[in-house]
Structure 1
Amino acid sequence: MVPLTLAEHGALAKGLLPAAIWDFFEGGAGTEWTRRANLDAWRHHVLRPRVLVDVSAPDCGTELLGARLTAPFGVAPMAYHRLAHPEGECATARAASEAGVLLIVSIFASRTLEQIAAAAPGAPRWLQLYWLRDREALTMLARRAEQADYRALVLTVDAPKVGRRLRDLRNAFALPADLTAANLDPRLTSSAGHSAAGRSGIEEHSRQQFDPTVSWADLAWLRARTRLPLVLKGVLTAEDARLAVEHGVDALIVSNHGGRQLDGVPPALAVLPEVVDAVPAECPVLVDGGLRHGSDLATALALGARAALVGRPVLWGLAHGGADGARAVLDLLREELLDTMVLAGRPTLAALDRDALAPWPPAAAAPL
């Protein structure tokens, strides 16, 4: 069967992956309310199509922090792609490069930064970081990213520790013995491979290695150690968005970590307009969380996002088809976006403004 929807890619992946790995990819924190809300939030908007518009040459290309993209989206940072496929992030990098979209590589990638870069030379790549207690490790990663032609650093700011993910606790999830965070000293990640009843090796590792004392003042330390643009991921309020701009951040990602951190926070899409309105137009705002169709991309753009990120579906494609499967997921999203733009009579990204949307149900003033 050739999958025609992201859901069909997911069904294929679920049939192949061990249950504990599927749960690690799919699970959220707490009751998973926020994870479900991320998916539901997209249905609180409908498109307002225009007619008798020349849609013969739709264009969804864009530029983001100096990189030209064929479509306004990219691959969200996710750890340990080798859990999905032996080639891991190298396969994902080839897929993103061939699709012409952004790839954000996780600090916990299971392939080295250099291997990933070699798999897709010239493709736009950013490196995601957690703030580790070992600041020398952060410094070295920033230097390696520059040398390997990564275009930005993405600092995840909603994770002083990993959230309480019940699926992982029930599965006593830990990394397999042959899998490591390829870009870090093994001593920094060894606890992620320790399994114990009712415990998660991933959560235990975060308690040991993530620095919960980090504050706005620490951003200057990181900026002094890299010439790369700095992007903050995990912003959900206008207050933090304004503080980020005041501290010289170059772009923001509105995100609740796929519902994997604090359960009970709003879906990222619901607070996207608040964040967009709080920052200058020259500060790009991206969004992630529950995107499952090209029309969702159109909704995100209409609410002010410069681009959106997709996470779990890329791993689905990777799991059942390697680089080709991941590429199929990315191509499908671009095709669905172009189809949406044509049928909505909005053939350019500029035409996808807030007038392109209406709340749904009609009486609702705002999503959720």
Structure 2
Amino acid sequence: MTPLPKLQQIPAEIACVADYEPFARERMTPSAWAYLVGGAADESTLADNLAAFRRIRLQNRVLEDLRGGHTRLDLCGLALDYPILLAPVAFQRLAHPEGELATALGASAMGAAMVVSTQASVSLEAIAQAAQAPLWFQLYIQPDRDFTRDLVRRAEAAGYRALVVTVDAPVNGLRNREQRSGFALPDGVEAVNLKGMRGLPPSIAQPGSSPLFGSPLLEHAPTWKDLEWLQSITHLPVLVKGVMNPSDASRAVERGVAGILVSNHGGRTLDGLPATLDVLPAIARAVQGRVPLLLDGGIRRGSDVFKALALGASAVMIGRPYVFGLAAAGATGVAHVLHLLRTELEVTMALTGCPTLDAIEASLILGSS
């Protein structure tokens, strides 16, 4: 078993997650940076994910009894010390030579669950061997359904604890910043878990014809029936990632999913979607506590985690923040980002009179009923 990393000295100027960003940028190529931080089209959704947390103000409570306080929770069969998970991020070797292996070590040092991307640049088995914390596997249902079934079997055999199926990206978003940078995967970085998969035939639209509709890509795009098929071939809990509409959330619950991740893909698919935080309360009302709700998008502070929990989330996932830490300092950076966010969450809880996660409620959001 790979030993956990020892936390090294962190420069004094890194006092919060945002302080990692310039360190990360100087260690990545311009095109890799554009891939990591860019969003779809004009990046309005990307910006609004961040702005939504800034718009919200908290109510404090004083003289509450905080003895015995903790941040523990049970989530889809996992006993977690705090409600912050690492979201699936593709091609992490763009940020650091050790890629997902370093992320797994950093997560293990902090006891945080990690969701591994289908498009990881390290095999799902190697990541499982390196990790000492729980792993979930993020899955794109591929046009090659037999290959998809094999991926599920591999994840089960490697000890992954749940599947997180991404449902909001039947096609890639139009990421103009990435396009302008000329981004292409460098030698040695690829989606290793997809090796051997049968690809779709090439489809090049002729002038005047539809560039997308009628293409093989959309003909094989997953549907609700494919979600049911996925649930039928695995014993693992299946969560859906990419839900932004309360009616979709209700349909997912009716089909027996184990959890819902409120996500707009970090602003990387459809520009013009609202911030995830803004749609969370309506989705929470639709779900009515029948399954856990998770949220990603825009979290940069532990107080942001608190706001998401107050508005209905059971836990959150972070993406870009830990990749900033990964690029800047490898496993140590990932671990430090988690430590910073957990510390800020606990401080926020103490100053709002919340000794446990169950005490966090909407009344602590200014203007909420």
Offset at residue 55 of structure 1 (A):
2.4
Contact 1:17 1:84 in 2 (8 A): yes
Distance in 2 between the 1:190 and 1:101 partners? 37
Choose from 119, 132, 143 the match for 2:130.
119
Residues 222 and 32 (structure 1 numbering): CA distance in 2 closer, same or farther, change over 3 Å?
same
Offset at residue 45 of structure 1 (A):
1.5
The aligned runs of 1:109-148 (5 Å cut-off) are 109-121=120-132, 123-148=133-158
The aligned runs of 1:57-96 (5 Å cut-off) are 57-96=68-107
**Residue of structure 1 in register with 2:342 after alignment:** 334
Percent sequence identity is: 46
Distance in 1 between the 2:226 and 2:136 partners? 20
Offset at residue 44 of structure 1 (A):
2.1
Contact 1:110 1:180 in 2 (8 A): yes
**Residue of structure 2 in register with 1:49 after alignment:** 60
Residues 190 and 313 (structure 1 numbering): CA distance in 2 closer, same or farther, change over 3 Å?
farther
**Residue of structure 2 in register with 1:198 after alignment:** none
Q: Does 1:241 align with 2:249?
A: yes
Choose from 136, 152, 167 the match for 1:157.
167
Over aligned residue pairs, what C-alpha RMSD do you find?
A: 2.0
Offset at residue 189 of structure 1 (A):
7.9
Distance in 2 between the 1:181 and 1:229 partners? 24
Q: Secondary structure at the match of 1:281?
A: coil
Offset at residue 190 of structure 1 (A):
12
Of 131-140 and 33-42, deviating more is 131-140
Offset at residue 282 of structure 1 (A):
3.3
Q: Secondary structure at the match of 2:338?
A: helix
Offset at residue 73 of structure 1 (A):
1.2
Question: Any gaps of 5 or more consecutive residues in structure 1?
Answer: 192-203, 360-364
Choose from 192, 195, 205 the match for 1:185.
195
Choose from 289, 307, 327 the match for 1:299.
307
Distance in 2 between the 1:338 and 1:211 partners? 48
**Residue of structure 2 in register with 1:312 after alignment:** 320
Offset at residue 86 of structure 1 (A):
1.1
Q: Secondary structure at the match of 1:38?
A: helix
Offset at residue 187 of structure 1 (A):
5.7
- In structure 1, what residue type is equivalent to 2:168? D
Of 218-227 and 29-38, deviating more is 218-227
Contact 1:132 1:211 in 2 (8 A): no
Residues 18 and 5 (structure 1 numbering): CA distance in 2 closer, same or farther, change over 3 Å?
same
Contact 1:180 1:189 in 2 (8 A): no
Distance in 1 between the 2:173 and 2:216 partners? 14
Offset at residue 210 of structure 1 (A):
7.6
Of 28-37 and 64-73, deviating more is 64-73
Contact 1:234 1:255 in 2 (8 A): yes
Offset at residue 26 of structure 1 (A):
0.1
Residues 279 and 189 (structure 1 numbering): CA distance in 2 closer, same or farther, change over 3 Å?
same
Q: Does 1:221 align with 2:221?
A: no
Q: Does 1:348 align with 2:359?
A: no
Output one character per residue of 1:175-218: Cα deviation in whole Å (capped at 9) or x when no partner.
11211112111566899xxxxxxxxxxxx9xx876865321122
- In structure 1, what residue type is equivalent to 2:354? R
Contact 2:144 2:199 in 1 (8 A): no
Question: Any gaps of 5 or more consecutive residues in structure 2?
Answer: 1-10, 202-211
Offset at residue 280 of structure 1 (A):
3.8
**Residue of structure 1 in register with 2:332 after alignment:** 324
Output one character per residue of 1:81-104: Cα deviation in whole Å (capped at 9) or x when no partner.
111111111111111122112211
Contact 1:70 1:99 in 2 (8 A): no
Output one character per residue of 1:196-248: Cα deviation in whole Å (capped at 9) or x when no partner.
xxxxxxxx9xx876865321122121112111111000000110001001111
**Residue of structure 2 in register with 1:250 after alignment:** 258
TM-score by length of 1: 0.90
Residues 211 and 304 (structure 1 numbering): CA distance in 2 closer, same or farther, change over 3 Å?
farther
Choose from 18, 39, 43 the match for 1:32.
43
Offset at residue 57 of structure 1 (A):
3.9
The aligned runs of 1:280-295 (5 Å cut-off) are 280-295=288-303
**Residue of structure 2 in register with 1:194 after alignment:** none
**Residue of structure 1 in register with 2:3 after alignment:** none
Offset at residue 56 of structure 1 (A):
4.2
